[in-house]
Chain A
């Protein structure tokens, strides 16, 4: 039986990695990771359109499928490696409590699954104690989020070790699988910060650039460093864009109406997330910087990435935001101006929020510049940390 990742990669190192020969656990965990982010975006849309949910809404089922698939797959890998694994498979595993053996990513996936399960009774109690989902960011939801991230990072580590161990002729296939898993993770990050940084109305305030300045690079830069593609950041953000666009375009096709009161905005179709951030542009710039600076000069590279990232974000989103607030963006393609059923619609829809205003209430370029300066510093620090993690990830082989 050579169906676990380590065994299969060993076989593939001697032959070409045709897509059909990729080990099933790799498919399974990447599928689980994708289900998590798709389920989450779907669930957010459900809450903005229908409102009322149950344990069994399809979006929730997708999350449960992800936990079950990742948990069972990785549980099986660990048990098989520990009790019936080939010597090569054991050699490619890490030990847990000096006895159990399995790939590093499998352990992280199992941990993530247990976190997700733990969050359920905690969340139920929280609903009874403080109200039903008063806030998205709550302690039990954070336990759930850590669990979701656990599964996604576990899946990423499994694709990463497969990429790092792959023979040269298989490199591209595994690198693309890894980039896809990384793209899914970036989509997750962008979804988590959606409340803070997603709608065009926020894009003229420095807070938007502070939030996107550290959260995205903290993951994207390290993920890119560990990739073996020529344009990793561009590829990863392109995958983020593709998943996000598919979700907003598909969701809008479904008719749905609110099931809960109060309804201040009688929507008739699933309300999608806002149009994805144009991360691909700063990501392309980051790829260019990384290619130019190369490895070994990470402090300088982090400083350059931080500056490049934030400036490119401002350059793109400042004007992009203006377009998204025009009537030309209020259509199926750009999905602009679509709000939750309980939103009290008003002129705020077409105004910029969170602007950097002075004491007199006027927009201050100086305050904006100061905010951008802070965003650049935050981005530099996040990039440096991310490069450190990325260097470690480049060496993951188990």
Chain B
């Protein structure tokens, strides 16, 4: 528990948030779904360093819950897993349990939640990306304390050495003569010089460690984007990072001390979910599904977006279960305005034509999408479910057809671009990533084996889905920090992608 509070404090005092992982600026994993007969809402506060301590919060719905346990594991450790940690009920909260969980290894990990109670036992697996994400400045009070104590110890050591040379070898009662005193002073001077060297070396060492840590902070693969005009306007997204382009060249990877990325796998049938957001007004948005021939260049037909500078985000899932959001910028000239053919039937976009509301959006077909905020509004770092209902113009629930495997998709971004996250009804987690944990077998060490099995299962799953006649969908989330946010929610009806946009205000947490 000491570690838990330390981790929380660390998050507060961290001097500089540089980058986060699977999404941008939103490192916590949020999952809502079934754990056997129980319904769970899980939030995993991932550690900012590796190894580090994650804080897992589990809200359980279901009668007679007796025990909640959480367990971490790395994607490739199939031989054994540690026993689950028992999560303790959180004081003052109903059905909320929490536990600190040590995450020892960076990369693709999972947090399994076990629930045991009157209804039997259940388990949910939440994929979690664990990476170093920030630098921590030395607390000035701690620094000052260490300097004071360090000076005392430095002086103390020199005094001891002086005493040793002056009196240590004298017979009891004998007084040190002049020669011995000179010897003692010489020894003290030499020790001072030696210790100064040790401290200098220590400081160099520390600087080196800090530099190495800074290098280890996760940075998504480098990418660039270009827009092509002409009869078939196109948006190209290129994963330009050498580590990705040279991923099959073992000698190059070894020379550059780089790890090999596992291949990209489709998430709901799409290798990449590409999002374009116009900056700085956030007035235009697109969700595209580019195609690729080489896993390096991803091309999508450009929808009719207005001109301007756009931030482009590419969400990918690796076969290890690791998810990352690559980003680039592109200047659009409005060339796509005459586009008649999109490269994917699931591509959708939205251009704001009026001021956005926080709770209501009129969709292209005239139906109305509403967002219900929790009592007290949205508050940073607090579990919140974005509850969406869609009703037709004549006030009937709009039937939500499965859109890329689910009733809806949502995208959240902060107005300064420091947060970007792609949400599903199950939370921030990628379904494909989750499936890699559920379906991995010991023989899946050959790249592509697991991916093939996953695709077969996913196709079956997507074909089985039926429309949701209630016209309701919800997205579990916890906003990482206060500020102004934009939310786009996409649903499908009559084969048409409908996008609603909202402008939200997230309040700071009361400390």
What residues make up the interface of A, taking CB atoms closer than 8 Å to B? 6, 51-52, 54-55, 88, 91-92, 94-97, 104, 107-108, 111, 114-115, 118, 121-122, 124-125, 127-134, 138-139, 142, 165, 257-266, 342, 392, 395-398
Contacts and interface: CB of A to CB of B under 8 A. Distances in A.
A104 B168 contact: yes
B373 to A, nearest CB: 34
B50 A131 contact: yes
B170 A398 contact: yes
Given A128-B49, A258-B82, A266-B80, 8 more contacts: A132-B51, A261-B81, A261-B82, A263-B81, A342-B104, A396-B169, A397-B169, A397-B171
Contact of A139 (B81, B169, B209): B209
Contacts, number: 147
A118 B160 contact: no
Nearest to A118: B149
A215 to B, nearest CB: 17
Interface in B20-72: 49-53, 71-72
B10 to A, nearest CB: 5
A342 B77 CA distance: 9
Contacts of B9: 128
A19 B149 CA distance: 39
A111 B169 contact: no
B170 A51 contact: no
A395 B164 CA distance: 11
Interface residues of B, number: 57
B339 interface: no
Interface stretch (B136-144, B218-226, B280-288, B459-467): B136-144
B167 A95 contact: yes
Interface string B139-169: 1001001100110110011011001101111
Ranked 10 nearest A-B pairs via Cβ: A262-B77, A262-B74, A395-B169, A91-B173, A94-B163, A266-B80, A129-B136, A131-B49, A261-B73, A263-B80
A130 B72 CA distance: 20
B306 to A, nearest CB: 45
B172 A88 contact: yes
B251 interface: no
A94 B166 contact: yes
Given A94-B163, A118-B150, A139-B202, A263 B171 contact: no
Contact of B164 (A91, A104, A258, A261): A104
B205 interface: yes
Interface in B84-142: 102, 104-105, 109, 132, 135-136, 138-139, 142
Contacts of A115: 153
A94 B51 contact: no
B163 A134 contact: no
A261 B105 contact: yes
B145 to A, nearest CB: 7
A120 to B, nearest CB: 11
A262 B145 contact: no
Nearest to B53: A132
A310 B329 CA distance: 62
Q: Please indicate which of the listed interface residues B104, B138, B209 has the most CB atoms of chain A within 10 Å of its own CB.
A: B104
Q: Please indicate which of the listed interface residues A129, A258, A259 has the most CB atoms of chain B within 10 Å of its own CB.
A: A129
B352 interface: no
B376 to A, nearest CB: 31
A263 B160 contact: no
A139 B160 contact: no
17 contacts: A51-B82, A55-B2, A88-B172, A94-B164, A96-B159, A96-B163, A104-B163, A125-B142, A128-B10, A131-B132, A261-B77, A262-B74, A263-B79, A264-B77, A392-B169, A397-B170, A398-B168
Contacts of A104: 160, 163-164, 167-168
A96 B149 CA distance: 17
A122 B81 CA distance: 32
A398 B213 CA distance: 46
B6 interface: yes
A165 B170 CA distance: 11
Contacts of A392: 169
B111 to A, nearest CB: 10
Contact of A52 (B79, B102, B171): B102
A104 to B, nearest CB: 5
A6 B160 CA distance: 18
B160 to A, nearest CB: 5
Interface in B162-206: 163-164, 166-173, 202, 205-206
Q: Please indicate which of the listed interface residues A52, A94, A104, A142 has the most CB atoms of chain B within 10 Å of its own CB.
A: A94
A95 B422 CA distance: 69
Contacts of A95: 163, 167
B76 interface: yes
Contact of B49 (A55, A129, A165, A397): A129
B143 to A, nearest CB: 9
B82 A259 contact: yes
Nearest to B83: A259
A261 B138 CA distance: 29
A203 B79 CA distance: 31
A157 B71 CA distance: 49
A164 to B, nearest CB: 9
A108 B142 CA distance: 25
Given A104-B168, A139-B206, A398-B170, A262 B149 contact: no
Nearest to B138: A125
Contacts of A396: 164, 168-169
Nearest to B135: A129
A115 B146 CA distance: 11
Nearest to A147: B153
A342 B213 CA distance: 22
A261 B160 contact: no
Contact of B146 (A118, A138, A142, A265): A118
Contact of B73 (A129, A257, A262): A262
A398 B168 CA distance: 5
A258 B149 contact: no
Nearest to A107: B160
Given A129-B136, A131-B52, A108 B169 contact: no
Contacts of B202: 139, 142
A131 B133 CA distance: 11
Q: Please indicate which of the listed interface residues B71, B163, B172 has the most CB atoms of chain A within 10 Å of its own CB.
A: B172
B164 A266 contact: no
Contacts of A259: 82-83
A121 B72 contact: no
B321 to A, nearest CB: 13
